[in-house]
């Protein structure tokens, strides 16, 4: 095991893990971005949302899902009664922006996955929303595409995974809005069943 992975596994808490991940230079993505985007939210939240990687605005601010897709995600969450800083922790498969927002390469994902795994290990969520092919395929370890995976719960241990389309896809494929909304309504139902039976959602 290399020194970086040893440091990861020795992190005492999420803040210490974030400090370590900020130092990562194990692949070339770090050379072309401004920030390592660790993720943000409530570390005690039982709902984690995982996307692909930072975009331009996320890289500029060092925060996940703050661009156009992030604003749409916030609207969906609000309709479900979720406030991102209270009810969720939001992160990505890769922590550095790929050039031109391209899909992360297989090797870049492989190198960055230990960061994500340690985050999830520390967060211990009950529900994890996997947005898009990259998140769903790498976390569920499948070659199936998101159109085949979405809307179906996958349970691993004490965690429940809901794959759905990435909000960015809704801008050029508006027909996906209804299936995404259907998926999030399932998330609300599961949240009530597992976490808070009194959770109030204005549109669910």
Q: Looking at the domain assignment, is residue 200 inside a domain?
A: no
Q: Which of 88, 169, 86 is nearest to 128 (CA)?
A: 88
Q: Which domain holds residue 11?
A: 3-194
Q: What is the pLDDT of residue 1?
A: 62
Q: Looking at the domain assignment, is residue 202 inside a domain?
A: no
What is the count of structural domains for the chain? 1
68's tokens? 């156009």
Q: Looking at the domain assignment, is residue 65 inside a domain?
A: yes
Residue spans of the chain under pLDDT 50 = none
115's tokens? 């960061």
Q: Looking at the domain assignment, is residue 199 inside a domain?
A: no
Counted residue by residue, the chain has a size of: 204
Q: Looking at the domain assignment, is residue 38 inside a domain?
A: yes
3-state secondary structure of 147: helix
CATH code for position 157: 3.40.470.10
CA distance 137 to 170: 19
Q: What is the pLDDT of residue 203?
A: 83
Q: Looking at the domain assignment, is residue 78 inside a domain?
A: yes
- The pLDDT tens digits of the residues spanning 96-148 come to 999 999 999 999 999 999 999 999 999 999 999 999 999 999 999 999 999 99
Question: What pTM does this model have?
Answer: 0.96
DSSP code string of 93-162 = SSSSPPGGGPPPPHHHHHHHHHHHHHHHHHH--SEEEEESHHHHHHHHT----HHHHTT--EEETTEEEE
Q: Looking at the domain assignment, is residue 39 inside a domain?
A: yes
Q: What is the pLDDT of residue 202?
A: 84
Q: Looking at the domain assignment, is residue 143 inside a domain?
A: yes
């Amino acid at each position: 095991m290399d020194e970086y992975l040893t440091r990861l596994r020795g992190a005492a808490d999420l803040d210490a893990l974030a400090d370590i991940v900020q130092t990562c230079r194990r692949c070339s993505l770090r050379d072309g971005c401004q920030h390592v985007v660790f993720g943000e939210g409530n570390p005690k939240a039982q709902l984690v949302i995982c996307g692909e990687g930072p975009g331009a605005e996320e890289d500029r601010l060092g925060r996940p899902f703050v661009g156009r897709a992030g604003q749409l995600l916030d609207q969906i969450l609000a309709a479900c009664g979720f406030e991102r800083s209270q009810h969720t922790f939001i992160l990505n498969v890769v922590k550095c922006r790929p050039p031109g927002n391209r899909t992360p390469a297989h090797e870049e994902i492989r190198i960055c996955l230990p960061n994500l795994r340690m985050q999830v290990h520390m967060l211990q969520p009950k529900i994890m929303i996997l947005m898009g092919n990259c998140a769903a395929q790498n976390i569920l370890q499948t070659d199936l595409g998101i159109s085949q995976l979405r809307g179906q719960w996958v349970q691993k241990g004490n965690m429940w995974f809901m794959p759905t389309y990435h909000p960015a896809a809704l801008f050029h494929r508006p027909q996906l809005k209804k299936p995404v909304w259907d998926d999030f309504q399932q998330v609300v139902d599961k949240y009530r069943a597992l976490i808070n039976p009194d959770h109030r959602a204005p549109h669910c």
